[in-house]
Amino acid sequence: MISMHAAAATMTLALAASSPRPQQAASVPTIQQNPDPALKYSKIRAARLSEVKGDVALDRDAGTGFEVAFANLPITEHSRLQTGMGRAEVEFEDNSTVRLAPFTLAEFSRLQLLPSGGKASTVTVLKGTAYVSLIPSYVVNTKGNDFQLTFGEQTLHLEPSAHIRLQLGETQAQLAVLDGAGQLEGPLGAGRLTHKKTFTFNLGSAAEPVIARHVRTAPLDKWDRSSADVHIRNASIGSLPNLGGKGNKKPASSGMPHDIFR
């Protein structure tokens, strides 16, 4: 016969076994502190001030304002380049170039290395005349690069081989597509710009640009074309493996019509 104490102990053990166990706290997933590296952009890029003639000044965005510029200075993101009675040329890694005519102000708003390895460049023209010539993709592999030219409220995405001249005044901008093509974005939407046409923008209104199916010559076109051709030749030579890479330097400029800066 089982004693009452033994029966009570047996019942206590049975109740303990049948009672639910306390729940364990759910594990909290660790929050990833670092974003996806593919979303990061590197700004360790610099173009080169490859030519300086006459009165040229550079603001390096270092708090010191404009300083006298000279050839081979690095052009970093947010630098501003200004010409007085002078002219300047900026060369990018692939030999694409931007040339500033006298009395021109431009900012290098974006110089970034993309996660894909491509290069992103944005040049903002604030006044004056600027030329942009991009190296053809059959000369240098520029896949993944993004080159933008901005003026007023307009953004022009230039394609490889594009060559343009922008004349920006206080109330009007005239964009001549000398070669190649580009995609324009602005208040009126997007549109494609093709070569051998001139687009005139009224900066004070949202009207569509006036399109002329020709390009008139300008006094500095000869200087621009000569310099652009030199860079294409340099890029072509540099792309040949048996010639030691891209160590070729640009020869002295052939000058421009009535070149007073020599």
CB 135 within 8 A of CB 143: no
What whole-number distance in Å separates Cα of residue 223 and Cα of residue 259? 9
CA distances from 232 to 39, 136, 168, 254 (A): 33, 8, 26, 15
- How many CB atoms lie under 10 A from the CB of residue 238? 18
Q: What is residue 238's predicted lDDT score, i.e. its pLDDT?
A: 73
pLDDT tens digit sequence for 15-63? 444 444 444 444 433 434 444 444 567 778 999 999 999 999 999 999 9
Q: 54 forms bridges with which residues in the sheet? A: 86
Q: 224 forms bridges with which residues in the sheet? A: none
pTM of the entire predicted model: 0.77
Indicate the fold that domain 45-243 takes in CATH: Jelly Rolls (2.60.120)
pLDDT tens digit sequence for 179-207? 999 999 998 788 999 989 999 999 988 88
User: Mean of the pLDDT values across residues 219-228?
Assistant: 95
Least confident of 56-70, 84-98, 103-117, 236-250: 236-250
Domain residues of the chain, as ranges? 45-243
